[in-house]
Structure 1
Amino acid sequence: MSYCNVKIKINGEVIEKEVESRWLLSDFLRDKLGLTGTHVGCEHGVCGACTVLLNGEPVRSCLMLAVQADGLEVETVESLAEEDGTFHPIQQAFANNHALQCGFCTPGFLMSVKNFMETHPDLPTDDEIREAISGNLCRCTGYSNIIKAVKEAYVLKC
């Protein structure tokens, strides 16, 4: 097996590790670093449950090797809440609007919405929100409460 050294800034902390060159970023985060908030669903990049932010952009961590993140910055869902456990406005809005049920898809939605809110500072339309979350699948809730949650997150962030 081939191993490589990587240096990745993860949730604000620089991590230096030796990784097997075939490890997926999702497996590295979950199995080697214990960041289990990143969920692995379809393992084909379709469901979006494994979405993390790579240099601020949403990516499917199940489609990327950990070595590809060398020298880059990764944000996982664990980066959202404050140190004291206080929810990020996006998390609070999802909780307030019952925009999660089983919660499996939620981390991917939260990270996609975080990027969307950072790149679209004005309150979006329902259609803009639908487009923004179109890469994330939910089997439990439907999407109406998720759309409501995104709108409320814009209000809470102020």
Structure 2
Amino acid sequence: MRITVTVDGVAYSDEVEPRALLVHHLRERLGKIGTVIGCDTGNCGSCTVHLDGRGVKSCAVLAVQADGREVTTVEGLARDGRPHPVQEAFHDNHALQCGFCTPGMIMRVVDLLADDPDPDDDAVRHGLEGNLCRCTGYQNIVRAVRDAAARLNAAGTGAAGANTGANAGDAA
């Protein structure tokens, strides 16, 4: 089946198997290796991307479901060669250990901050429930989310204005 999908602002047209998962299409066909394959069951959130501005777990979405739609990966968050404020906050707050969960966490945090631009620690933890960190780096992740919120609020852009216009939404 032929699909056309816009990924990180670039349109791609490609033949895909009807049963191919979006995560595999992104990584294997389009080279978007920042989208991590974690569990293939939708439990860990490592493969979170934005589909039409809403966070989804790409291991739970068929590539054919992305036909005619827009996908943003963690690689697509940067603008004008500068990392997204959430990416900067994760780096500056050492919000990773092994880094495996980081791309999905960052994508989910963009959604979270679009929904709640100034979450407290409990709201951050609740908002990240569908994304797992196996290294237990949650303290630094929570710190990074609060820092990213402050950066976005200081810039007056909010999470959506700083990237792709992502809407709030729970990962699928």
Task: Sort the TM-score into its range (normalised by shorter chain).
Answer: over 0.9
State the 1:141 CA deviation: 3.6
Match of 1:102 among 98, 103, 122: 98
Q: Which runs of 5+ in 2 are unaligned?
A: 156-172
- State how many pairs are aligned: 153
Match of 2:129 among 131, 134, 148: 134
Q: Any residues of structure 2 matched to 1:1-158 within 5 Å, and which? A: 4-84=1-81, 86-121=82-117, 123-157=118-152, 158=155
State the 1:91 CA deviation: 0.8
Per the normalisation by structure 2, the TM-score is: 0.85
Q: Which runs of 5+ in 1 are unaligned?
A: none
SS of aligned partner of 1:74: strand
State the 1:82 CA deviation: 3.0
CA offsets, 1:18-61, max 9 Å, x none? 11112110000000000000000111100000011111111111
Structure 1 ranges of 4+ moved more than 3 A: none
Q: Is the 8 A contact 2:113 2:119 kept in 1?
A: no
Per the normalisation by structure 1, the TM-score is: 0.92
State the 1:73 CA deviation: 1.1
Q: Is the 8 A contact 1:99 1:141 kept in 2?
A: no
Cα RMSD of the aligned pairs, angstroms, is: 1.1
Q: Give identity over the alignment, percent.
A: 51
